[in-house]
Amino acid sequence: MFVDQVKVYVKGGDGGNGMVAFRREKYVPDGGPAGGDGGKGADVIFEVEEGLRTLMDFRFTRHFKAQRGEHGMSKGMHGRKAEDMIVKVPPGTIVTDAETGQVIADLVHHKQRAVIAKGGRGGRGNTRFATPANPAPEIAEKGEPGIERDIVMELKVLADVGLVGFPSVGKSTLLSVVSSAKPKIAAYHFTTITPNLGVVAVDEGRSFVMADLPGLIEGAHEGVGLGHQFLRHIERTRVILHVIDMSGMEGRDPYEDYCKINDELRQYNMRLTERPQIIVANKMDLPDAEENLQAFKEKVGDEALVFPISAVTRQGLKEVLYATADLLKVTPEFPMIHEEKEEGSHRVIFKHEKEESGFYITRDSDGTFVINGPKIEKLFKMTDFTRDETVKRFARQLRSLGVDEALRAKGAEHGDSVRILKYEFEFVE
């Protein structure tokens, strides 16, 4: 089964906890703090594997959680860093954040890597908190939580040549006779519902990858038929082979087919019309094909590259393959489709912006004040509430961020309940 889009959950490893420990050796009075730092959590890294062609594996494994770092130890020993989680993906995979839609990585080349979810840093041991005023602190941090997010993985097939055209014009038959690929071939529309790839060998040691893609119909750019499921794959191809049924056996005019398909490509992405295109006039072994070809050439003009073939009898295949290989030689290696950049003068304006507080306060129906925000939640998760000194440090951190003042501004009074995540505290003046 070909899978070209999937949603998965990834989480970087949490950092290891720092340790509270003291040096206790004979003849070393007041040895001082000796708690080590925790190790860094593992990153979730996606790496391109050339042999993969589908996202099928991600259909069954949708959660990727990296290991956490080792905890700090006594005698000032730091915890070991966790080994990164390497996840293999096929070339042509685009990774986007499911919530924001931001592109995280566009993975194209073999062995290319991208960090999708970063692991948290290790918590500091009490050695780090020693000061002249407090030479024996009982303060240590928990490890920083790793980044967690839902991502959408989208596969755009990487092929040198893409076959486009209406359903049942002979694209699958053409691929089957010029390569070793074995696509399903039948006399009904949408026989091909997933892309098929084949390696086409040309003389003189030249070869290229050809993709047989699902047939297009009117409205495909709006998602009609297989719509976007097809069009996302044509973006990556370097040369387009436009296959047309020149016999007109299904009652369609070849020139109208040609115009409609090009219009769908233009509507989906204007840059696709700039891609080099070869017109393959197929089914020339059938009646009326020669007459239709002459009329077609008059309408498209002399600039278009038109090659009459018959995929069934293999007539004209050699010429079109040579022309395709020659065109690939002068076409850029990997044309990416980017948004048009606005031209003109640009100025950079610097202006002072108030730094965001990093938290916000709401109130539940039961009167409890609820504090949310990434900065507050991160501090909370890295605090060890089993030790009084760390609790006092957390209170000082909240005060320095302005949480106390914000609570008073919201109407909080002595004895009111305050909640952070699932834990409740009492507001004390």
**Distance (Å, whole) CA 403 – CA 309:** 75
Query: What one-character-per-residue DSSP string does 125-171 give?
Result: -GGGG--SS-SS----BPPPPPPEEEEEEEE----SEEEE-STTSSH
380 and 246 in a common domain: no
CA distance 401 to 406: 9
Residue 339 counted as domain residue: no
Q: What is the pLDDT of residues 180-191, one digit of tens each?
A: 656 555 444 444
Answer yes or no: is 195 a known binding residue.
Answer: no
Check whether 167 is labelled as a binding-site residue.
yes
CATH classification of the domain holding 135: 2.70.210.12
Structural domain of residue 224, as residue ranges?
161-330
**Does residue 302 fall inside a structural domain?**
yes
| 173/127 same-domain check | no
Among positive and negative, which fits the CA dihedral 48, 53, 55, 56?
A: negative
- Give a yes or no: residue 54 inside a domain: yes
The reply, when asked if residue 310 is annotated as ligand binding, is yes
285 and 310 Cβ atoms separated by less than 8 Å = yes
Is the Cβ–Cβ distance between 46 and 107 less than 8 Å?
yes
What pLDDT is attached to residue 231? 67
The answer to whether 100 is annotated as binding is: no
Known binding residue 191? Answer is yes
> Same domain, yes or no, for 28 and 138?
yes
Residue 173 marked in a binding site: no
Domain-located, residue 345? no
CB 156 within 8 A of CB 94: yes
Residue 213 marked in a binding site:
yes
170 is in an annotated binding site: yes
- Tell me, yes or no, whether 225 and 326 share the same domain: yes
- What per-residue confidence (pLDDT) applies to 188? 41
Residue 166 annotated in ligand binding: yes
Asked whether residue 283 falls in the same domain as residue 384, the answer is no
Report whether 330 belongs to an annotated binding site: no
Q: Does 275 reside within a domain? A: yes
Q: Which residues contact 197 (CB under 8 A, 6 or more apart)?
A: 53, 157, 159, 181, 209, 210, 211, 212
Strands (E), 255-294: 277-282
Q: Which residues contact 409 (CB under 8 A, 6 or more apart)?
A: none
Q: How many CB atoms sit inside 10 A of residue 144's CB?
A: 23
Q: Provide the domain count of the chain.
A: 3
Q: Please tell me whether 212 is known to bind a ligand.
A: yes
Q: How far apart are CA 16 and CA 172, in angstroms?
A: 55
Distance CA 379, CA 103 (A): 28
Known binding residue 282? Answer is yes
Whether 374 has a binding-site annotation, put simply, is no
Maximum pairwise Cα distance, the chain: 106
CA atoms within 13 A on the CB side of 248: 16
For residue 197, being part of any structural domain is answered with yes
Query: Does one domain contain both 174 and 48?
Result: no
CATH code for position 295 = 3.40.50.300
pLDDT for the residue 229: 56
Closest C-alpha to 154, from 83, 98, 215, 217: 98
pLDDT at position 234 is 75
**272 and 199 fall within a common domain:** yes
Q: What is the pLDDT of residue 366?
A: 87
336 within domain boundaries:
no
Q: In this structure, are 146 and 217 located in the same domain?
A: no
Same domain? For 169 and 110 the reply is no
Residue 106 assigned to a binding site: no
User: Is 312 marked as a binding-site residue?
Assistant: yes
Which residue, of 157, 180, 210, is where some domain finishes? 157
Q: Is 283 annotated as a binding residue?
A: yes
Query: How far apart (Å, rounded) are the C-alpha atoms in residues 374 and 381?
Result: 11
Q: Is 171 among the annotated ligand-binding positions? A: yes
Residue 193 and residue 226 in one domain:
yes
Instruction: Extract the residue ranges of the chain whose pLDDT is less than 70.
Output: 1-4, 180-194, 204, 215-233, 270, 333-357
CATH assignment at residue 418: 3.30.300.350
My answer on whether 140 and 172 are in the same domain is no
Q: Is residue 33 part of a domain?
A: yes
State pLDDT tens for residues 320-368: 888 888 888 888 765 444 444 444 455 666 555 555 567 888 988 888 9
Instruction: Examine the domain organization and report whether 122 and 173 are in the same domain.
Output: no
**What pTM did the predictor assign?**
0.71
Amino acid at 414: H
- Answer with the one of 130, 157, 184 that is the final residue of a domain: 157
Is 284 annotated to bind ligand? yes
